[in-house]
Amino acid sequence: MLEAPFTSALDLAHAAYPWVPVSLLMRDPFLSREGILHVEEPLLIIHGTADKVVPVAMGREMFALGHEPKKIAIIEGAAHSDLWDHGLWPLVLGFLRTEGVSAVP
């Protein structure tokens, strides 16, 4: 389960500071978009449309890169730090049940 994932720290820094040569300054670009290609487990991505920290487009891109089975939940009006205030528990528990996680009541 990924909550408001970014494609890479480098992409995120570039989006926040487009005038700074971040690719020259960052030692570790933290390429999440490459790491997700190796994930074979069921994937749930949750992202809010009002996220001003990580653009929702990055969550959509991570979803596109992920392998099946996968699900994305774009929460209208949710920001970066209030996703869980939008009633996500039923969605998360339903996903876990669907994917066969036996510890979920």
Residue 18: predicted pLDDT: 92
Residue 103: predicted pLDDT: 58
Give me the residue spans of the domains in the chain: 2-98
**CATH number assigned to the domain with residue range 2-98, chosen from the 4 options 3.50.30.10, 3.40.50.1820, 3.40.50.300, 3.10.105.10:** 3.40.50.1820
Question: From the centroid of its chain, how far is CA 94?
Answer: 18
> Could you tell me if 29 and 8 are in contact, meaning their C-beta atoms sit under 8 angstroms apart?
yes
The pLDDT profile of the chain, 105 residues, written as one tens digit per residue, is 999 999 999 999 999 999 999 989 888 989 999 999 999 999 999 999 999 999 999 999 999 999 999 999 999 999 999 999 998 999 999 998 887 665 555
Segments of 1-105 assigned E as strands: 2-3, 43-48, 70-75
Place of tokens 């996703």: 83
Residue 48: predicted pLDDT: 96
- Edge to edge, the sheet with strand 2-3 lists 2-3, 43-48, 70-75
